[in-house]
Amino acid sequence: MKKAEFILMKLLGKFMKNTYKLIWSDEALNNLKEILDYLEQRWTNREIKRFSQLLDY
């Protein structure tokens, strides 16, 4: 499993713990994966972790 896929699954797991149930479309999931792939190529692990924490805020 690539780091981006791991982060994607972690983010989705966090969102599902919220009060609201989110239903992710295939397009939304694909877009998020593309964003994470892009960031993985250009950012450090620390920056990616911080980004994922901001998404969970």
Can you give the length of the chain in residues?
Answer: 57
User: What pLDDT shows up at residue 19?
Assistant: 60
Q: Rounded to an integer, what distance in angstroms lies between the CA atom of residue 1 and that of residue 9?
A: 10
The long-range contacts involving 25-32, CB below 8 angstroms and separated by at least 24 positions, are: 32/8
Angle at 6 between CA 8 and CA 52, to 5 degrees: 50
Query: Domain limits of the chain?
Result: 3-56
DSSP string, the chain: --HHHHHHHHHHHHHHTSSSPP---HHHHHHHHHHHHHHHHHS-HHHHHHHHHHHH-
Give the predicted TM-score (pTM) of the model.
Answer: 0.52
For residue 57, pLDDT over 60 is answered with: no
